[in-house]
Chain A
Amino acid sequence: MRIKSATCLTGVAGVLLAAAFVAVPSVPSVASAATGSSGTYLVGVSEPMTGAEAQAGTEIYDGELLAVDKINAAGGVLGHKIVLQEEDDACDPQTSVNAANKLVSLGVQAMVGGYCSSAAQPAEAIYARAGIPNIQAAANSSTLTEAGYHNVFLIDPGGPLQAQEAVGLFTKVLKVKTLFIADDLSTYAVNVAQLTAKGLAGTSVKVLPIEAVPSTDQDFSSVIETLRVDKATAVYWTGYFAQAAEFVRQLRTDGITIPFVCADGSVDPTFIKDAGAAANGTYATIAVLSSFLTGSAAKAFDSAYSSRFHAQPGPYSAYGYDGIYALADAAKAAGSLSPAKVITALHSLKFAGLTGEVSFAANGSRLGAHFVVLEVIGGQYKLAPQQPPTT
């Protein structure tokens, strides 16, 4: 009879399947003990490990790892060694929610990481409910701080300061007549582009309509044609390094020599490698990079990073590094690893990080960052000889 044989077998199979589905993920891959018992300080890192942003995710993680090693070598945080637990958020809201839930269920005491704002947004609620510090290394959309969560801290200073620096560069230093701004349709790039355009309104610089180039586009020939016809005298690219390299390469191949400026997302050794000779003479606006700070901390970061990971640090590696230090310093100031106390300490924290002075506004956004203009000279990033006046 159909009911007996089929149903019995499928019923058993179904229950086994359901049991497996429940059992497998609940086996934690890392000891989920809370702080005191095993002597470790478990810190979660949610960043893209797969997908188009995987490289940025690796750079942030490696920056954090460097900080963790230094702190652990000096005895750890209040005697506890930091252990990082990495989870993939794939720059996707759903995956990010799963990563957040996974980290919380593993008992992490804090989360330091995050690259995509759209992925960070739904995950915020989860970290808030868990009551742990949510330190975003690179995600910096204002929507993250507007949600009203008390535990969110952004290391990346975000659009307004960068736009300010760009405005100064175009009006006072390069004295541009007609500016062509392009972004890659990502949240941050659009933000910077729009703020820059707004900041230039009423100045002598004429801003052409902002061009949005989807991040999968490699071919800039029609974009270049547009800016040629519109007689642009400078270009500001607010997207990321891969497209920046393509853009400037094709621009120079077409014989167009106008100044090319990019925002901090394009400041990456890959840009110089991929653009080749075309990279020389390009500018970039960025929060002060470690290599341009004097002092042993910055030099140590660069050489330690290169020797450990056989690559130059990326634009957000230093943010990851500062994020870990922010957490560690706050815990030390609070004298406890308890998440609630660490959050309170973070709010009144102030220290000198690689990216400048680190402190946070009441809503968690970053204060104290200082932006500069870099120029590529001889295949290397150097501080541009002429800096816009500091406002």
Chain B
Amino acid sequence: MTWSVVVPDIVAGLFLGAFLALVAVGYSMVYGILRLINFAHGDFYMLAAFVSYSLLAVVTVGTKINWGNVVWVGIVTMIAGGVLAVAVERLVYRPMRRAAVLSVMIAALGVSQVLENGVLNIPGWGSNYLPFPVTPPSTGFNVDGVHYTWTQVVIVAIAVVLIMAVWWIVNRTMLGTAMRAVAQDRAAATLMGINTDRIISLVFFIGGALAGAAAVTSSLYYGQINYLEGFSLGLQAFTAAVMGGIGNVAGAAVGGLLLGILESVGTGLFGAQWALLFAFGALVLTLWLRPTGLLGERVAQRV
């Protein structure tokens, strides 16, 4: 155990945590509004990554990076992610609105299988680890002997901006108040004249769009995509969302960052194979000390 790795690991963890936070916020919002552990959320991220891959593969010529292309592909991917999420909600979750939550969870598992194996069987996609057509430059700066790239900075900045935008929507607009109302008590919200169906669809759209943003940025950074990458990420995002507090945007973001840092520091101190244990141990500790998550939850108590 070398303690000098801790500080660089924290910084590295913040970076990893940025992706987790983006996906965790989407997860948390859906979780908060429907009490549904949407196991398919990670696969929204995965499918968005493949969509952005195909789009960029078509428009990219040569190895010089065209930032304009990246930007519009990113926006299109976010919209695609949102549309996918809404489609799944309308087709699968809405008919099950009155069913037991466990049943909906199993349906979500089914959706996850369909998305993953769908991608597996689409020619041109398949089981391969596909290289992302665009490679960002590695120019950057050095701190303490560790090299950080401008790309990393930009990615973290994008994540921060998006999450803050979502936080602002949820906490400072009428729309957000409606969302929180639906999360708190759906029946009362309907009685108050809120179109709960539309609000729920909107929440799914936002979650899917965030997953799309995470997909483009992480594919850009890691350089490769694979049809199974969504599941593990989804699981981590779920853990982060719970750690931060269900239904709480800021909580999910904090949870994501914290989980990224914990995994990174855990790897540095104990070795990568124990990182997961370290992270889950921290989760158990958090819930033990603060049973409603770090920043508290934003849903009504189930009476």
Q: Which residues of A contact B (CB under 8 A)?
A: 50-52, 54-55, 58, 185, 209, 211-214, 216-219, 221-223, 225-226, 228-230, 241-242, 245-246, 249, 252-255, 270, 273-276
Contacts and interface: CB of A to CB of B under 8 A. Distances in A.
Interface of B: 2, 4-5, 8-9, 12-13, 15-16, 117, 120, 126-129, 131, 135, 138, 142, 145-147, 149, 222-224, 226, 228-229, 232, 263-265, 267-268, 271-273, 275-276
A249 B15 CA distance: 16
6 contacts: A55-B129, A214-B276, A222-B268, A229-B5, A241-B129, A245-B131
Name the residue among A214, A226, A241 with the largest chain B CB count within 10 angstroms.
A226
Contacts of A275: 223
Contacts of A230: 2
A185 B273 contact: yes
A230 B268 CA distance: 11
Contacts of A219: 12, 16, 222, 264
A274 B273 contact: no
Given A222-B264, A222-B272, A253-B147, A270 B128 contact: yes
Nearest to A246: B222
A214 B263 CA distance: 12
Contacts of A185: 273
Contact of B127 (A58, A228, A274): A58
A222 to B, nearest CB: 4
The 9 closest A-B pairs by CB, nearest first: A54-B127, A221-B12, A212-B273, A222-B267, A213-B272, A242-B129, A274-B131, A253-B138, A255-B147
A230 B3 CA distance: 11
Given A212-B272, A217-B275, A274-B131, 5 more contacts: A50-B117, A218-B222, A228-B146, A245-B223, A246-B222
Contact of A225 (B117, B128, B146, B226): B146
A253 B271 contact: no
B12 A226 contact: no
A209 B5 CA distance: 16
A249 to B, nearest CB: 6
A55 to B, nearest CB: 4
A245 B229 CA distance: 15
Contact of A242 (B4, B226, B232): B226
B146 A274 contact: no
Most buried by B among A242, A273, A274: A274
Contacts of B135: 276
Contacts of B273: 185, 212-214
Nearest to B260: A219
A249 B222 CA distance: 8
Nearest to B137: A253
B5 A217 contact: no
A185 B274 CA distance: 11
A225 B5 contact: yes
Given A50-B120, A218-B229, A229 B4 contact: yes
Contact of B224 (A214, A242, A254): A242
Contacts of B117: 50
A293 B16 CA distance: 44
Contacts of B4: 229
A228 B265 CA distance: 15
Contacts of A221: 9, 12, 15-16, 264
Nearest to A182: B272
Given A225-B146, A241-B129, A255-B147, A274 B271 contact: no
Contacts of A213: 272-273
A272 to B, nearest CB: 9
Contacts of A255: 142, 147
Given A242-B129, A246-B222, A276-B223, A225 B271 contact: no
Nearest to A56: B127
Nearest to B116: A50
A217 B229 CA distance: 9
A91 to B, nearest CB: 12
B224 A246 contact: yes
A270 B130 CA distance: 8
B129 A222 contact: no
In this complex, the member of B16, B117, B273 whose beta carbon has the largest number of chain A beta carbons within 10 angstroms is B273
Contacts of A226: 2, 5, 267-268
Given A228-B146, A242-B226, A217 B272 contact: yes
Contacts of B226: 242
A253 B13 contact: no
Contacts of B271: 209, 211-212
Nearest to B139: A253
A308 to B, nearest CB: 15
A213 to B, nearest CB: 4
A13 B44 CA distance: 38
Contacts of A55: 126-129
Contacts of B264: 219, 221-222
B5 A222 contact: yes
Residue of A214, A218, A230, A252 ringed by the most chain B CB atoms within 10 A: A218
Contacts of B8: 225
Contacts of B146: 225, 228, 254
A196 to B, nearest CB: 18
Nearest to A219: B16
B276 A229 contact: no
A253 B276 CA distance: 25
B129 A270 contact: yes
Q: Which of B5, B117, B226, B263 has the most CB of A within 10 A?
A: B5
Contacts of B223: 245-246, 249, 274-276
Nearest to A54: B127
